[in-house]
Amino acid sequence: MSGLLRDKVAFITGAGAGIGAAVAERFAAEGATLWLNDRDHETLATTIDHLRSASHGSGSEVSSLAGDASDSSFVDAWVTAGLETFDRVDVLYNNVGVSRPGLVGDLSDEDWHFQRRLTLDSVFFATRAVLAPMVDGGGGSIVSMASGAGIGGNYNLGGYAAAKAGVINLMETVATEHGRNGIRANAVAPGPTATPPLLAYLEQRPGGVDAHVADLNLARLTDPHEIAATVAWLASDQSSAISGTCVRANIRAASRRPPP
Protein backbone atom coordinates (compact mmCIF):
# COMPACT_ATOMS: atom_id res chain seq x y z
CA MET A 1 0.00 0.00 0.00
CA SER A 2 1.04 3.62 -0.52
CA GLY A 3 0.33 5.05 2.93
CA LEU A 4 -2.63 7.13 1.73
CA LEU A 5 -3.90 7.56 5.29
CA ARG A 6 -0.67 7.72 7.25
CA ASP A 7 -0.95 10.05 10.27
CA LYS A 8 -4.75 10.18 10.00
CA VAL A 9 -7.19 9.08 12.70
CA ALA A 10 -10.24 7.33 11.25
CA PHE A 11 -13.50 6.57 13.06
CA ILE A 12 -15.52 3.69 11.54
CA THR A 13 -19.01 2.47 12.46
CA GLY A 14 -20.19 -1.02 11.57
CA ALA A 15 -16.60 -2.27 11.28
CA GLY A 16 -17.16 -5.84 12.43
CA ALA A 17 -17.92 -7.55 9.13
CA GLY A 18 -18.57 -7.14 5.41
CA ILE A 19 -17.74 -3.83 3.77
CA GLY A 20 -17.02 -2.20 7.14
CA ALA A 21 -14.37 -4.77 8.00
CA ALA A 22 -12.88 -4.49 4.50
CA VAL A 23 -12.66 -0.70 4.86
CA ALA A 24 -11.02 -1.04 8.29
CA GLU A 25 -8.50 -3.46 6.80
CA ARG A 26 -7.70 -1.13 3.91
CA PHE A 27 -7.42 1.90 6.20
CA ALA A 28 -5.03 -0.01 8.46
CA ALA A 29 -2.93 -1.07 5.47
CA GLU A 30 -2.79 2.58 4.38
CA GLY A 31 -1.40 3.60 7.79
CA ALA A 32 -4.46 5.07 9.51
CA THR A 33 -5.03 4.93 13.24
CA LEU A 34 -8.42 3.31 13.77
CA TRP A 35 -11.24 3.88 16.28
CA LEU A 36 -13.86 1.26 15.48
CA ASN A 37 -17.42 0.46 16.40
CA ASP A 38 -19.86 -2.39 15.92
CA ARG A 39 -22.75 -3.52 18.07
CA ASP A 40 -21.63 -7.17 17.82
CA HIS A 41 -18.87 -7.46 20.44
CA GLU A 42 -17.58 -10.84 19.25
CA THR A 43 -17.46 -9.93 15.57
CA LEU A 44 -15.70 -6.67 16.35
CA ALA A 45 -13.15 -8.43 18.53
CA THR A 46 -12.39 -10.93 15.76
CA THR A 47 -11.90 -8.12 13.24
CA ILE A 48 -9.60 -6.23 15.60
CA ASP A 49 -7.49 -9.34 16.25
CA HIS A 50 -7.11 -9.77 12.50
CA LEU A 51 -6.19 -6.12 11.97
CA ARG A 52 -3.62 -6.11 14.75
CA SER A 53 -1.96 -9.27 13.45
CA ALA A 54 -1.87 -7.87 9.90
CA SER A 55 -0.87 -4.28 10.65
CA HIS A 56 2.77 -4.79 11.60
CA GLY A 57 4.84 -2.33 9.59
CA SER A 58 1.90 -0.15 8.52
CA GLY A 59 2.06 2.08 11.60
CA SER A 60 -1.63 1.49 12.30
CA GLU A 61 -3.08 1.43 15.81
CA VAL A 62 -6.50 -0.13 16.37
CA SER A 63 -8.92 0.45 19.26
CA SER A 64 -12.69 0.14 19.60
CA LEU A 65 -15.86 0.56 21.60
CA ALA A 66 -18.79 -1.75 20.90
CA GLY A 67 -22.34 -0.41 20.94
CA ASP A 68 -25.39 0.64 18.97
CA ALA A 69 -24.62 3.28 16.33
CA SER A 70 -28.32 4.10 16.08
CA ASP A 71 -28.35 5.27 19.72
CA SER A 72 -27.39 8.96 19.81
CA SER A 73 -26.20 8.80 23.44
CA PHE A 74 -23.88 5.92 22.65
CA VAL A 75 -22.56 7.59 19.51
CA ASP A 76 -21.75 10.77 21.41
CA ALA A 77 -19.92 8.69 24.04
CA TRP A 78 -18.08 6.72 21.34
CA VAL A 79 -16.87 9.89 19.60
CA THR A 80 -15.88 11.47 22.93
CA ALA A 81 -13.90 8.37 23.91
CA GLY A 82 -12.15 8.33 20.54
CA LEU A 83 -11.19 11.97 20.89
CA GLU A 84 -9.91 11.39 24.41
CA THR A 85 -7.80 8.50 23.14
CA PHE A 86 -6.43 10.02 19.92
CA ASP A 87 -7.06 13.77 20.38
CA ARG A 88 -8.59 14.29 16.93
CA VAL A 89 -10.65 12.78 14.11
CA ASP A 90 -9.59 13.17 10.48
CA VAL A 91 -11.92 10.65 8.84
CA LEU A 92 -15.39 9.33 9.62
CA TYR A 93 -16.70 6.34 7.69
CA ASN A 94 -20.37 5.53 8.27
CA ASN A 95 -21.08 1.91 7.39
CA VAL A 96 -24.20 0.94 9.35
CA GLY A 97 -27.32 0.08 7.35
CA VAL A 98 -30.01 -2.56 7.08
CA SER A 99 -32.88 -3.46 4.76
CA ARG A 100 -36.20 -5.22 5.22
CA PRO A 101 -37.77 -6.10 1.87
CA GLY A 102 -41.39 -5.18 1.35
CA LEU A 103 -43.66 -3.16 -0.89
CA VAL A 104 -44.36 0.34 0.44
CA GLY A 105 -48.02 -0.49 1.01
CA ASP A 106 -47.08 -3.53 3.08
CA LEU A 107 -44.38 -2.02 5.33
CA SER A 108 -45.28 -1.83 9.00
CA ASP A 109 -44.43 1.20 11.14
CA GLU A 110 -41.78 -0.92 12.85
CA ASP A 111 -40.20 -1.96 9.53
CA TRP A 112 -40.06 1.68 8.40
CA HIS A 113 -38.61 3.05 11.64
CA PHE A 114 -36.13 0.19 12.02
CA GLN A 115 -34.63 0.78 8.58
CA ARG A 116 -34.55 4.55 9.03
CA ARG A 117 -32.98 4.29 12.48
CA LEU A 118 -30.19 1.90 11.50
CA THR A 119 -29.55 3.28 8.02
CA LEU A 120 -30.06 7.05 8.25
CA ASP A 121 -30.15 8.01 11.93
CA SER A 122 -26.83 6.24 12.55
CA VAL A 123 -25.17 8.33 9.84
CA PHE A 124 -26.69 11.54 11.18
CA PHE A 125 -25.67 10.89 14.79
CA ALA A 126 -22.02 10.09 13.99
CA THR A 127 -21.71 12.91 11.45
CA ARG A 128 -23.18 15.45 13.86
CA ALA A 129 -20.85 14.28 16.63
CA VAL A 130 -17.64 14.71 14.62
CA LEU A 131 -18.39 18.04 12.93
CA ALA A 132 -17.24 20.32 15.74
CA PRO A 133 -13.95 18.46 16.40
CA MET A 134 -13.27 18.32 12.66
CA VAL A 135 -13.85 22.07 12.37
CA ASP A 136 -11.54 22.66 15.34
CA GLY A 137 -8.93 20.42 13.73
CA GLY A 138 -9.00 22.26 10.41
CA GLY A 139 -11.11 19.82 8.41
CA GLY A 140 -11.63 16.20 7.58
CA SER A 141 -13.36 13.70 5.32
CA ILE A 142 -16.73 12.04 5.96
CA VAL A 143 -17.69 9.07 3.79
CA SER A 144 -21.04 7.30 4.15
CA MET A 145 -22.24 4.07 2.62
CA ALA A 146 -25.24 4.65 0.37
CA SER A 147 -26.80 2.26 -2.13
CA GLY A 148 -28.00 2.06 -5.69
CA ALA A 149 -31.43 1.67 -4.08
CA GLY A 150 -31.19 5.28 -2.95
CA ILE A 151 -30.75 6.51 -6.51
CA GLY A 152 -34.16 6.48 -8.15
CA GLY A 153 -35.70 3.96 -5.76
CA ASN A 154 -35.81 0.19 -5.79
CA TYR A 155 -38.72 -2.23 -6.16
CA ASN A 156 -39.62 -3.97 -2.87
CA LEU A 157 -37.02 -1.95 -0.91
CA GLY A 158 -38.94 1.28 -0.33
CA GLY A 159 -37.97 1.82 3.31
CA TYR A 160 -34.30 1.07 2.70
CA ALA A 161 -34.22 3.09 -0.53
CA ALA A 162 -35.71 6.13 1.19
CA ALA A 163 -33.19 5.91 4.02
CA LYS A 164 -30.24 5.56 1.63
CA ALA A 165 -31.49 8.50 -0.43
CA GLY A 166 -31.44 10.43 2.83
CA VAL A 167 -27.82 9.42 3.39
CA ILE A 168 -26.83 10.79 -0.02
CA ASN A 169 -28.67 14.07 0.58
CA LEU A 170 -27.22 14.41 4.08
CA MET A 171 -23.68 14.14 2.72
CA GLU A 172 -24.47 16.72 0.02
CA THR A 173 -25.81 19.07 2.70
CA VAL A 174 -22.82 18.64 5.01
CA ALA A 175 -20.52 19.32 2.06
CA THR A 176 -22.42 22.55 1.38
CA GLU A 177 -22.48 23.68 4.99
CA HIS A 178 -18.91 22.82 5.97
CA GLY A 179 -16.76 22.98 2.85
CA ARG A 180 -15.46 26.36 4.03
CA ASN A 181 -14.29 24.59 7.21
CA GLY A 182 -12.20 22.12 5.24
CA ILE A 183 -14.66 19.26 5.65
CA ARG A 184 -15.50 17.07 2.68
CA ALA A 185 -18.54 14.76 2.71
CA ASN A 186 -19.29 12.07 0.14
CA ALA A 187 -21.31 8.89 -0.29
CA VAL A 188 -20.60 5.61 -2.07
CA ALA A 189 -23.26 3.45 -3.74
CA PRO A 190 -21.58 0.05 -4.03
CA GLY A 191 -24.26 -2.02 -5.71
CA PRO A 192 -24.84 -5.64 -4.60
CA THR A 193 -21.68 -6.73 -2.81
CA ALA A 194 -20.39 -10.24 -2.11
CA THR A 195 -20.83 -10.28 1.65
CA PRO A 196 -21.84 -13.50 3.48
CA PRO A 197 -25.44 -12.36 4.17
CA LEU A 198 -26.10 -11.47 0.52
CA LEU A 199 -24.49 -14.65 -0.77
CA ALA A 200 -26.58 -16.74 1.64
CA TYR A 201 -29.72 -14.92 0.51
CA LEU A 202 -28.97 -15.38 -3.20
CA GLU A 203 -28.38 -19.09 -2.77
CA GLN A 204 -32.07 -19.38 -1.88
CA ARG A 205 -33.34 -17.24 -4.76
CA PRO A 206 -34.36 -18.52 -8.22
CA GLY A 207 -31.33 -18.34 -10.50
CA GLY A 208 -28.98 -17.55 -7.62
CA VAL A 209 -26.13 -15.11 -8.16
CA ASP A 210 -26.29 -15.28 -11.96
CA ALA A 211 -29.87 -14.03 -12.07
CA HIS A 212 -29.19 -11.29 -9.56
CA VAL A 213 -26.23 -9.81 -11.42
CA ALA A 214 -27.66 -10.00 -14.94
CA ASP A 215 -28.64 -6.32 -15.10
CA LEU A 216 -25.81 -4.89 -13.01
CA ASN A 217 -23.49 -2.58 -14.87
CA LEU A 218 -20.59 -5.04 -14.52
CA ALA A 219 -22.78 -8.17 -14.56
CA ARG A 220 -21.12 -9.43 -11.36
CA LEU A 221 -21.17 -8.81 -7.65
CA THR A 222 -18.87 -6.16 -6.23
CA ASP A 223 -16.07 -7.35 -3.95
CA PRO A 224 -15.96 -5.61 -0.53
CA HIS A 225 -12.29 -4.77 -1.05
CA GLU A 226 -13.12 -2.90 -4.25
CA ILE A 227 -15.42 -0.63 -2.26
CA ALA A 228 -12.80 -0.30 0.47
CA ALA A 229 -10.33 1.04 -2.08
CA THR A 230 -12.84 3.69 -3.19
CA VAL A 231 -13.60 4.70 0.40
CA ALA A 232 -9.88 4.96 1.19
CA TRP A 233 -9.39 7.27 -1.79
CA LEU A 234 -12.29 9.49 -0.73
CA ALA A 235 -10.89 9.58 2.81
CA SER A 236 -7.42 10.54 1.62
CA ASP A 237 -5.93 13.84 0.49
CA GLN A 238 -5.77 12.49 -3.07
CA SER A 239 -9.48 13.35 -3.40
CA SER A 240 -9.04 16.79 -1.84
CA ALA A 241 -11.36 18.51 -4.35
CA ILE A 242 -14.12 15.87 -4.23
CA SER A 243 -17.06 16.75 -2.00
CA GLY A 244 -20.84 16.52 -2.10
CA THR A 245 -21.00 13.60 -4.50
CA CYS A 246 -22.13 9.99 -4.52
CA VAL A 247 -19.68 7.65 -6.21
CA ARG A 248 -21.72 5.06 -8.10
CA ALA A 249 -19.99 1.72 -8.26
CA ASN A 250 -21.57 -1.39 -9.73
CA ILE A 251 -25.21 -0.33 -9.33
CA ARG A 252 -28.22 -1.96 -10.92
CA ALA A 253 -28.80 -0.44 -14.34
CA ALA A 254 -32.54 -1.14 -14.22
CA SER A 255 -33.25 -0.51 -10.54
CA ARG A 256 -36.53 1.32 -11.26
CA ARG A 257 -38.08 -1.55 -13.18
CA PRO A 258 -40.39 -3.91 -11.27
CA PRO A 259 -40.04 -7.63 -11.95
CA PRO A 260 -42.26 -9.09 -14.72
Give the residue numbers marked as catalytic: 160
Estimate to the nearest angstrom the gap between the alpha carbon of 177 and the chain centroid.
Answer: 21
Under DSSP, is residue 142 helix (H, G, I), strand (E, B) or coil?
strand
26, burial (CB in 10 Å: exposed 0-12, middle 13-18, buried 19+): buried
Interatomic CA distance for residues 141 and 30, integer angstroms: 15
Comparing CA positions, the residue from 247, 250, 17 lying closest to residue 141 is 247
41: region left, alpha or beta (phi > 0 left; psi from -120 to 50 alpha): alpha
**Structural contact between residues 134 and 89, judged by C-beta atoms closer than 8 angstroms:** yes
Q: Kindly report the length of the chain.
A: 260
Q: How many CB atoms lie within 10 A of CB 260?
A: 3
- HEC secondary structure over 102-116: ECHHHCCHHHHHHHH
170-203 per-residue burial string, b: 16 or more CB within 10 A, e: under 16: bbbebbeebeeeebbbbbbbbbbbbbeeeeeebe
Q: Could you tell me the CA-to-CA distances from 189 to 29, 126, 129 in Å, in that order?
A: 23, 19, 23
